[in-house]
């Protein structure tokens, strides 16, 4: 964590802890909204949470501080759960899997 990035979108934070608290709070709210059906469980809704977590990941680097670690890990897991609940697969991954399956079937012949 040589140069913590204290900016997110149009906001600048005084300290990385403030940023982490705010962004984790926003991620949590977003995931709850999706779970409660207030927001659709789709890519844009999930990306709102995912990009915030990614930003924290980049900002903290290899090790997330203990004070945030549990929340941070839980929120990632919740996000993965939401992805799997709607059977989300990235379109590129889908294509790759199709290609792999096609290769398998052609080599089997």
Partner 1 sequence: MSKCPFHTLFNEQGAIQLFRKKNQKENEDTNLRPSTSSHVTTYYRQLLSSDRKQQVSFVRLTEEDVQRLASIRPLFAKHVERIVNVFYNQIGQIPNLRRIIDNHSTLDRLKQTLRAYLMDMVSGEIGEQYIIRRKVIGNVHNRIGLFPEWYLGAYTIIQNEVLHILMEELPPTEATNIYRSFAKLCSFDMQIAIETYIESYTSSMMKLNEIAELQHRLTESSTTLASSAEETTASIFEVQKNVQNMLDEVTTIQRQSVQMTERVEKGKEDVKQTLTKLDGVAKLIEGTKSLTNELTDSSRKIGEIVNAIRSISNQTNILSLNANIEAARAGEHGKGFAVVANEVRKLATQTEQSLDYIQNHIDVVQQTIRKFEHAFQQIVDETRAFRQANESIIHIFDQSVTDVKSTNKKIDQFTSLIGQFHQMFDEISSAASQIAEMAEQLNDLNQELTEKFNS
Q: What are the structure tokens assigned to 50, written together?
A: 């995912």
Q: Does 15 bind partner 1 (CB under 8 A)?
A: no
Q: ∠ CA 27-44-98 to the nearest 5 degrees?
A: 120
Q: Tell me the window of 11-19, 63-71, 101-109 that interacts with partner 1 (CB under 8 A).
A: 63-71
Backbone angles phi, psi at 5, to 5 degrees: -85, 110
Q: Of residues 3, 62, 108, 109, which one binds partner 1 by CB under 8 A?
A: 62
Binding partner 1 (rule: CB under 8 A), the pick from 12, 77, 99, 103 is 77
DSSP state of 10: T
CB 36 within 8 A of CB 62: no
For residues 77 and 84, give the distance between their C-alpha atoms in angstroms, rounded to a whole number: 10
Helices (H), 61-90: 66-85
The footprint of partner 1 on this chain (CB under 8 A) covers a number of residues equal to: 41
Can you tell me the distance from the alpha carbon of 8 to that of 80, in angstroms, rounded to the nearest whole number? 22
Question: CB of residue 80 vs partner 1: minimum separation in angstroms?
Answer: 4
22-41 footprint of partner 1 as x/- string (CB under 8 A): --xx--xx-xx--x------
**51 scored as a contact of partner 1 (CB under 8 A):** yes
> Contact residues for partner 1 (CB under 8 A)?
21, 24-25, 28-29, 31-32, 35, 42-44, 47, 50-51, 54, 62-64, 66, 69-78, 80-81, 83-85, 89-93, 96-97
């Amino acid at each position: 964590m040589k140069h913590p990035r204290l900016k997110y979108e149009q906001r600048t934070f005084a300290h990385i802890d403030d940023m982490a608290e705010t962004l984790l709070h926003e991620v949590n709210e977003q995931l709850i909204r999706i779970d409660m059906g207030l927001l659709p469980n789709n890519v844009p809704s999930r990306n709102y949470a995912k990009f915030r977590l990614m930003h924290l990941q980049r900002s903290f680097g290899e090790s997330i501080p203990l004070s945030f670690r549990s929340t941070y890990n839980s929120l990632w897991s919740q996000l993965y759960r939401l992805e799997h609940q709607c059977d989300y697969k990235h379109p590129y991954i889908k294509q790759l899997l199709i290609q792999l399956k096609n290769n398998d079937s052609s080599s089997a012949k």
